[in-house]
A and B are shown apart, each in its own frame.
Chain A
């Protein structure tokens, strides 16, 4: 039979047998909706976990560190595992690497302003132009090509106080550590904001040279950019994280000034690198290549693996429940189709007498079951959308507690749901189809 004729015949039967159609549709649509819901809930939960993970851990970044036995400054002239500028250049040119952020740590220094307010900060030498590529957003200013440029993070603007006040408070707290009032005052000063943008600053450090305390200061530098709170960090925590970013040249000068003679940029050994990769699927490949440079790498791919393993079991369980419901639901189409076959024995007999062969009779019934499956699948999608809307409302209003903030139905799940319903229709239609094709035409015509 031609496919169009088959569909037309199937539709004719379906539209005529409304009760049978309704029975089949209820079963199949509930089953299909169960599958779509099962997949959607588990996928939404997984997607939300991965999004949370991506916020917490940068999945497309690799942290690279030196592979030096005995520490960076072990004194050996050749240090195979050191992270040199040459290796940095090689890494920058690796396939799929989009940005590299080098890091040179300068010892903790005291930053002070022209008003002689100060705070201890961690100074980091880096490629300032790369900051924005790694998720650092500027609240004020930006990166300048001026050699004295400093970029302050959000926390560096807090807690600046004059040295005398600070000294007095610390001394009082040392002698009276349980004085809440003193502690509150110290904490209040620690939260006080100072506008750093465009301010001229110096660094200083008190050093012990020949048993005498010597205060060393750096040349003046200027804050040309202030960063926002980093994505994923809380403002509360960020005010205690005080970092200033300078260029690698400035970092070398500061290290020289404060006792660590690293020489020129070319001879500089980096403390770490953060490598951004085009996509997280290339992370493992880039890690392998960096490993060949005799460097240590660390990424967060394992976090994703942990989540995927956790959700694989969850997905299998929910899908299993969905399929079980569909199997139960398929009983309705099986019963309805078998009933329909029995009722239509006379019609089948006539068709056989008019020349329909076994295969054509089976085609008719399987075609009918397939159309029912398709209709059930479409109705199932509608039910699934309604159920998801209800579910999300229940979760939002607190009526229901679920490990998912919001369930969403992915478009890719819809063909899966329809496919399951269609296949269930076809499979459950096979037995009635075979049974129909075996009808003894003469018997039913004679006996009705």
Chain B
């Protein structure tokens, strides 16, 4: 479903070239729940951004559903993101002047989906994350955990093949973190959606089906989590 082959990437600054990822190879199957684990500066977020098509690697290829996204133009990448991926931000990134329902509908606006279909779909997803009664509120009226649930619903609305989540529980307290992870698990089971989640917390990674560990830009471990076994 997702294949990363020989991907290397480096950043350039005044001090010179800083290698971030070196010869990464990995494969993720449909319906998997994968954690990208690593300490700060290990390259896990860079790998996530490369797989989500936010930037292009220096070398290597990234194939999603058979298509090499490295070769796509900016507009083609926008289309790719629109149809194939969902994204969950650490700090939720909801649009403050839109209601909760409108925030969830937002990706469908770019697909020119009719308002009635958008509304129906958004309400279904808000029901799945337990926020039906909050649909008319604005993000500032919700707690952090609730906002992250809205962000999850928004990521799911285009029915993407894969959802990338960048530290989705990073801003949440422990109980809310568990609540959000439980929702992700349920959605993974119910919808068979693939999740690739970046985290620096081993406890969070341990709850995923597989954990890929990065260290100084190298893939050092790729194993099934005990929970999956």
Taking CB atoms, residues of chain B closer than 8 Å to A360 are 110
User: Knowing A346-B93, A360-B110 touch, does A354 contact B87 (C-beta < 8 A)?
Assistant: yes
Task: Enumerate chain B residues within 8 angstroms of A339, measured Cβ to Cβ.
Answer: none
B112 at the binding interface (Cβ < 8 Å): yes
User: A357 interface residue, CB < 8 Å from B?
Assistant: yes
Q: Please, which residues of chain A bring their CB within 8 A of the CB of B96?
A: 16
**Residue B44 CB within 8 A of the other chain:** no
**Residue on A nearest B109 in the bound complex, by CB:** A5
B192: interface (CB < 8 Å):
no
* B112 contacts A1, C-beta separation under 8 Å: yes
Give the CA-CA distance A216 to B76 in the complex, in Å: 108
- Are A357 and B78 closer than 8 Å at their CB atoms? yes
- Which residues of B146-170 are within 8 A (CB) of A? 154, 158
Q: Is B75 an interface residue (CB 8 A)?
A: yes
Q: How far is the CA of A4 from the CA of B109 in the complex (A)?
A: 10
Check if A1 sits within 8 Å of B95, measured CB to CB: no
- Shortest Cβ distance from B87 into A: residue: A353
**Candidates A12, A357, A442, A445; contact of B110 at CB < 8 Å:** A357
A13 in the interface (beta carbon within 8 A): yes
Is A350 an interface position by the 8 A CB rule?
yes
Closest chain B residue, CB of each to CB of A360: B110
Which residues of chain A come closer than 8 Å to B98, judged between CB atoms? 12
Q: Chain B nearest CB: distance from A435 CB in Å?
A: 15
In the complex, which residues 345-386 of chain A have their Cβ closer than 8 Å to any Cβ of chain B?
A: 346-347, 350-360
Chain B residues lying within 8 Å of A355, measured Cβ to Cβ, are 78-79, 81-83, 107, 110-111, 158
What is the count of residue pairs linking A and B with beta-carbon distances less than 8 angstroms?
A: 61
Name the residue of chain B whose CB is nearest to the CB of A11. B97
Given known pairs A355-B158, A356-B78, the reply for A350 and B95 (CB within 8 Å) is yes
Assuming the contacts A12-B98, A354-B87, A355-B158, asked whether A441 and B110 have C-beta atoms less than 8 A apart, the reply is no
Instruction: Find the B residue at minimum CB distance from A9.
Output: B109
Interface residues as binary, B170-205 with A (CB distance below 8 Å gives 1, 0 otherwise):
000000000000000000000000000000000000
Residues in B whose Cβ lies below 8 Å from that of A13? 97
Q: Does A2 contact B (CB under 8 A)?
A: yes
A346 to B93: give the CA distance in the assembly, Å.
8
What distance in Å separates the Cβ of B107 from its nearest Cβ neighbour in chain A? 5
Smallest CB-CB separation from B107: which chain A residue?
A354
Q: What are the interface flags for B189-227 relative to A under an 8 Å C-beta threshold, 1 for contact and 0 otherwise? A: 000000000000000000000000000000000000000
- Binary contact readout B98-138 vs A (1 if CB under 8 angstroms, 0 otherwise): 10000000110111100100000000000000000000000
The answer to whether B110 and A1 have CB atoms under 8 Å apart is yes
Q: How far apart sit A431 and B110, CA to CA, in the bound complex (Å)?
A: 22
CA distance A346 to B91 in the complex (A): 12
Q: Known contacts A346-B93, A353-B54: does B158 contact A2 (CB below 8 Å)?
A: no
* Contact pattern, A 315-354, Cβ under 8 Å of B = 1, otherwise 0: 0000000000000000000000000000000110011111
CA distance in complex: A12, B109 (Å): 15
B82 nearest in chain A by CB position: A355
State whether B54 touches A441 (Cβ < 8 A).
yes
Contact with A along B44-77 (1 / 0, CB 8 A): 0000010010110000000000000000001100
A442 to B54, CA, bound (A): 6
Of the candidates A1, A12, A354, the one whose C-beta lies within 8 Å of that of B81 is: A354
Q: Which residues of the other chain, A, contact B154 by a CB distance below 8 angstroms? A: 354
CA distance A442 to B81 in the complex (A): 13
Beta-carbon contact of A12 and B93 below 8 Å: no
- Decide: A352 and B109 in contact? CB cutoff 8 A: no
| Chain A residues with CB below 8 A from B111, complex form | 355
Alpha-carbon gap, A5 to B98, bound state (A): 12
Give me 27 A-to-B residue pairs in the complex whose CB atoms sit less than 8 angstroms apart, sorted by A's number.
A1-B109, A1-B112, A2-B115, A5-B109, A5-B115, A16-B96, A16-B97, A347-B95, A351-B106, A351-B110, A353-B87, A354-B87, A354-B107, A354-B110, A355-B81, A355-B82, A355-B107, A355-B110, A355-B158, A356-B110, A357-B74, A357-B75, A357-B78, A357-B110, A441-B54, A442-B55, A445-B93
Per CB-CB distance, the 6 closest pairs between chain A and chain B, nearest first, are A355-B82, A357-B78, A442-B54, A350-B93, A16-B97, A354-B107
